[in-house]
């Protein structure tokens, strides 16, 4: 029988170090695989987000609303991959990044141009706005031919209108929404989308023919633990407004206002169908407009049919909790 001699200290130390290194490598490889799997699943989730069901809690709409912020998880995955020194994980973190760029990469490009012939500014001025007159002057300084406002209280209306220059002498106010223009205005009327006036329609006589303008303030939404994302009233109002816009025979149509939803929100699909978002084709960035102090979502919109947007942007804060949005068009 052969008896192995015990290892000397000089022989045992390298072997122990090899064992520890092997265990660290195995652990790092395992962690790397988990990070790689998480990156792959996240990329799939981004691309498959339309499959998230709305259900009674409107979860799909909530996911749609904040989808542009989904990039925040990507640096975390990259950091974990670097810490673990996992090459496979590093490579797979590219997948959610590419998926996000496929969805929103166009918004990172400055698409603003020149040559606009009609400028429109839209703003939810806020029922609690402490300075409606100052807000009116700020909007007028854009040089816009069309000013649309939402959440215009009865007490603020006179102050707002009195602060506008005389060139905005053509106007209509229906409930809390109003429209002022330097062009003659005809056929001004409310649009029935809610039990009380929240939308209007009017036709403007521009130098290159009539342009019909819809101004709307859709129902507010909330996120609650009991009901989830409460968009039902907003979605119903959006559908009614969409029918009114679709039925309108005008060749050139503007649809502006506070929709209380983003352009990615499936609940507004009927309203956005057939319309061009000025921000998406002629803006710079996402054009987030709410809340004003740190804008997280673009819920204020300027949409067009039959007009080509040349530029779109948001304006600095006023006394409202929304940022004004502005866009120019070729007629």
pLDDT at 27: 41
End-to-end CA distance of the chain: 101
CA distance 88 to 104: 25
| 111, 281 contact by CB (below 8 A) | yes
Return the number of other C-beta atoms located less than 10 Å from residue 175's C-beta: 16
Average pLDDT over residues 22-47: 77
Average pLDDT over residues 22-36: 63
Average pLDDT over residues 272-291: 97
Using one digit for the tens of pLDDT, what is the confidence trace for 208-250? 999 999 999 999 999 988 889 999 999 999 999 999 999 999 9
Return the number of other C-beta atoms located less than 10 Å from residue 80's C-beta: 19
pLDDT at 24: 46
pLDDT at 189: 98
Distances (CA, A) of 46 to 39, 67, 68, 247: 11, 8, 10, 35
The residue among 312, 245, 320 whose CA lies nearest residue 107 is: 312
The answer on pLDDT for 74 being more than 70 is yes
Residue 85's pLDDT band (cuts 50, 70, 90): confident
| 220, 237 contact by CB (below 8 A) | no
What would the CATH number be for the domain defined by 111-330? 3.60.10.10
Both tokens of 190, joined, read 């409310």
Residue 182: partners with Cβ closer than 8 Å, 6 or more residues away = 145, 146, 167, 168, 170
Distances (CA, A) of 236 to 52, 152, 213, 225, 298: 20, 22, 21, 22, 20
pLDDT at 251: 98
CA distance 286 to 83: 32
Using one digit for the tens of pLDDT, what is the confidence trace for 143-156? 999 999 999 999 99
| 275, 321 contact by CB (below 8 A) | no
CA distance 218 to 154: 18
Return the number of other C-beta atoms located less than 10 Å from residue 259's C-beta: 27
The residue among 93, 66, 56, 216 whose CA lies nearest residue 148 is: 216
Domain map of the chain by residue range? 9-107, 111-330
pLDDT at 8: 54
Residue 29's pLDDT band (cuts 50, 70, 90): low
């Amino acid at each position: 029988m052969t008896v192995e001699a015990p290892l000397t200290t000089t022989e045992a130390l390298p072997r122990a170090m090899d064992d520890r290194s092997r265990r660290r490598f195995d652990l790092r490889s395992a962690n790397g695989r988990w990070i790689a799997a998480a990156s792959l699943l996240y990329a799939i989730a981004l691309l498959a987000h339309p499959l998230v069901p709305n259900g009674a809690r409107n979860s799909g709409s909530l996911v749609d609303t904040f989808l542009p912020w989904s990039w925040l998880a990507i640096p975390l995955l990259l950091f974990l991959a670097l810490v673990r020194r996992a090459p496979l994980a590093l490579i797979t973190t590219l997948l959610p990044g590419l998926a996000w760029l496929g969805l929103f990469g166009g918004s990172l490009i400055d698409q603003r141009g020149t040559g606009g012939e009609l400028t429109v500014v839209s703003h939810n001025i806020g029922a609690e706005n402490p300075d409606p007159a100052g807000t009116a002057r700020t909007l007028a300084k854009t040089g816009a031919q069309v000013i649309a406002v939402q959440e215009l209280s009865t007490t603020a209306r006179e102050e707002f209108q009195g602060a506008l220059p005389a060139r905005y002498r053509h106007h209509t106010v229906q409930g809390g929404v109003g429209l002022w223009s330097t062009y003659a205005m005809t056929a001004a009327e409310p649009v029935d989308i809610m039990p009380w006036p929240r939308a209007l329609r009017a036709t403007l006589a521009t130098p290159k023919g009539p342009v019909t303008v819809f101004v709307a303030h859709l129902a507010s939404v909330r996120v609650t633990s009991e009901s989830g994302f409460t968009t039902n009233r907003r979605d119903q109002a959006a559908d009614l407004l969409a029918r009114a816009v679709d039925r309108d025979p005008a060749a050139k149509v503007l649809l502006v206002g506070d929709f209380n939803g983003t352009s990615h929100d499936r609940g507004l699909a009927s309203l956005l169908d057939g319309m061009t978002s000025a921000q998406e084709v002629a803006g710079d960035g996402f054009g987030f407009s709410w809340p004003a102090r740190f804008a997280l979502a673009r819920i204020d919109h300027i949409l067009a049919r039959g007009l080509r947007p040349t530029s779109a942007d948001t304006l600095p804060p006023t006394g409202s909790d929304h940022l004004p949005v502005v866009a120019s068009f070729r007629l």
